[in-house]
């Protein structure tokens, strides 16, 4: 049990999110794992993540492959993905020469250098080495503290079919840099089955009712209005306040099916009014799992990252792999091949859902 001050955690999240969001200011500088920007970002995140890991005395979980996080309050969020298990690297530390090989393999190599002061190890981050399951407002322990982190034993696993209809909506800002970003993603979705694009929230709700989609994909613009109300924007200025997200926006039948929601917009897991976190709201109203972000993500990154996640979902939906396994592999793949933006990806829900395809 950890008694973590919410204010301090919020400050930490903002600092970490701000570091990752620098990618949006100069994306070319972060292109590739070995680029100057990527190495600098990984070094700075490792320094902060190592400090938090040490101060919270989390060495008991250092070797755990699966970690379960629960919190007293639904609005509480702990950035476990960015914890770093090694000592903090120096200001001149370089990327481990075996980093790319390790990320592709999903595990550290036998000839990994031992001096962590002079090297940054991507697999030192929890988000690149552990399956993380996060639940909000479901803490059952009677101990002191507001957050619990513990190794998660393998439980009885339930099947989660993801085949079937997919529903997509995106802010017009997503295509600002690349015109066909949304239409390209839609065409990719259509190759896996029935897929439709909603440009208004009314259309979104109609499709949820008629199509009963298993996969809900949102690339929204997330912001606050003049009165400070959180909202998600799709299409050309179609806004929906976060507290207006209700069951009919998630699933038609309260008894199921429980869809997977990919909420891949800017800072969709960061809110000024914490209990209006859209990720938590979608889960509260029936989503099996919600993938979200703690950083600013450009449309040019959100669309391909979403496409990569959907491809992995389909490829690994064989009745053997859990959603947590897929999220871990996604982060490793994106950090290895494109951008460290993937370190800002988080997920709510049961990581032990076993993905499968109907029929």
Domain boundary among 95, 129, 151: 151
Q: What is the pLDDT of residue 217?
A: 96
Can you give the length of the chain in residues? Answer: 359
Q: What is the mean pLDDT of the chain?
A: 83
Closest-CA residue to 293 (of 222, 228, 349, 188): 222
**What CATH number is attached to the domain comprising 304?**
3.40.50.1460
Asked if 352 and 225 sit in the same domain, the reply is: yes
Residue 154 has pLDDT above 60, yes or no: no
**Two tokens, residue 104:** 């592709």
Structural contact between residues 102 and 119, judged by C-beta atoms closer than 8 angstroms: no
Domain boundary among 113, 132, 151: 151
Confidence of residue 139 (pLDDT cuts 50, 70, 90): very low
pLDDT tens, position by position, 48-73: 999 889 888 889 898 899 888 876 66
Confidence of residue 5 (pLDDT cuts 50, 70, 90): low
Structural contact between residues 251 and 257, judged by C-beta atoms closer than 8 angstroms: yes
Pick from 162-166, 243-247, 258-262, 300-304: least confident: 300-304
Q: Tell me the residue range of the domain where 194 lies.
A: 159-356
Confidence of residue 350 (pLDDT cuts 50, 70, 90): confident
Asked if 137 and 167 sit in the same domain, the reply is: no
- Beta strand 166-170 with 215-219 is parallel
Asked if 214 and 144 sit in the same domain, the reply is: no
Asked if 298 and 349 sit in the same domain, the reply is: yes
Residue 270 has pLDDT above 60, yes or no: no
pLDDT tens, position by position, 72-88: 665 567 888 889 999 99
Q: pLDDT higher for 359 or 162?
A: 162
Asked if 109 and 188 sit in the same domain, the reply is: no
* Backbone angles phi and psi of 179, in degrees to 5: -55, -45
Structural contact between residues 294 and 344, judged by C-beta atoms closer than 8 angstroms: yes
Asked if 215 and 322 sit in the same domain, the reply is: yes
Asked if 130 and 163 sit in the same domain, the reply is: no
Q: Is residue 1 part of a domain?
A: no
- Beta strand 166-170 with 195-197 is parallel
Asked if 174 and 38 sit in the same domain, the reply is: no
Q: Is residue 298 part of a domain?
A: yes
Q: What is the pLDDT of residue 148?
A: 74
**Two tokens, residue 211:** 């199509």
Asked if 76 and 102 sit in the same domain, the reply is: yes
Torsional class of 257: left (φ above 0), alpha (ψ -120 to 50), beta (otherwise): beta
Asked if 134 and 261 sit in the same domain, the reply is: no
Q: Is residue 206 part of a domain?
A: yes
Asked if 140 and 192 sit in the same domain, the reply is: no
Q: Is residue 76 part of a domain?
A: yes
Question: How far does Cα 37 stand from its chain's mean position?
Answer: 21
Q: Is residue 24 part of a domain?
A: yes
**How many structural domains compose the chain?**
2
Q: What is the mean pLDDT of residues 19-38?
A: 86
Q: Is residue 209 part of a domain?
A: yes
pTM score, two decimals? 0.85
Core vs surface per residue 107-121: b (16+ CB within 10 A) or e: ebeeebeeebeebbb
Residue 92: how many other CB atoms lie within 10 Å: 8
Asked if 163 and 233 sit in the same domain, the reply is: yes
Q: In whole angstroms, give the CA distance from residue 169 to residue 186.
A: 9
Q: Is residue 82 part of a domain?
A: yes
Domain boundary among 84, 119, 151: 151
HSE-CB for 21 with a 13 A CA cutoff = 15
Q: Is residue 34 part of a domain?
A: yes
Torsion of CA 31, 314, 329, 133, to 10 degrees: 120
**Residues ≥6 apart with Cβ < 8 Å to 231:** 222, 223, 224, 225, 239, 240, 241, 242
């Amino acid at each position: 049990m950890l008694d973590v001050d919410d204010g301090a955690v919020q400050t930490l999240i903002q600092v970490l999110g701000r570091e990752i969001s620098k990618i949006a200011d100069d994306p070319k500088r972060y292109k590739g794992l070995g680029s100057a920007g990527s190495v600098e970002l990984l070094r700075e995140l490792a320094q902060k993540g190592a400090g938090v890991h040490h101060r919270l005395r989390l060495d008991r979980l250092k070797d755990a492959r699966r970690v379960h996080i629960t919190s007293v309050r639904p609005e509480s969020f702990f950035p476990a993905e960015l914890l770093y298990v090694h000592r903090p690297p120096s200001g001149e530390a370089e990327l481990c020469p075996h980093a790319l090989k390790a990320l592709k393999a999903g595990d550290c190599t036998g000839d990994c250098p031992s001096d962590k002061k002079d090297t940054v190890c991507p697999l030192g981050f929890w988000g690149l080495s552990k399956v993380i399951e996060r639940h909000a407002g479901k803490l059952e322990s009677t101990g002191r503290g507001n957050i619990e982190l513990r190794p998660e034993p393998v439980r009885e696993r339930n099947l989660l079919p993801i085949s079937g209809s997919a529903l997509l909506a995106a802010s017009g800002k997503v295509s600002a840099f690349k015109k066909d970003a949304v239409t390209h993603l839609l065409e990719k979705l259509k190759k896996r089955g029935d897929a439709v694009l909603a440009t208004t929230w009314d259309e979104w709700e109609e499709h949820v009712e008629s199509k009963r989609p298993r996969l809900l994909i949102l690339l929204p613009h997330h912001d606050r209005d003049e009165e400070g109300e959180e909202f998600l924007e799709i299409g050309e200025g179609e806004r929906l306040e976060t507290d207006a997200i209700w069951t009919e926006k998630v699933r038609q039948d309260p008894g199921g099916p429980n869809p997977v929601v990919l909420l891949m917009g800017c800072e969709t897991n960061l809110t000024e009014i914490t209990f209006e976190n859209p990720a938590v709201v979608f889960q509260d109203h029936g989503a099996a799992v919600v993938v979200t972000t703690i950083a600013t993500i450009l449309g040019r990154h959100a669309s391909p990252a979403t496409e990569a996640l959907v491809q992995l979902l389909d490829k690994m939906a064989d009745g053997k792999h859990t959603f947590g396994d897929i999220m871990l592999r996604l982060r490793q793949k994106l950090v290895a091949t494109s951008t460290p933006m993937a370190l800002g990806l988080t997920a709510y829900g049961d990581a032990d859902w076993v993905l499968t395809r109907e029929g």
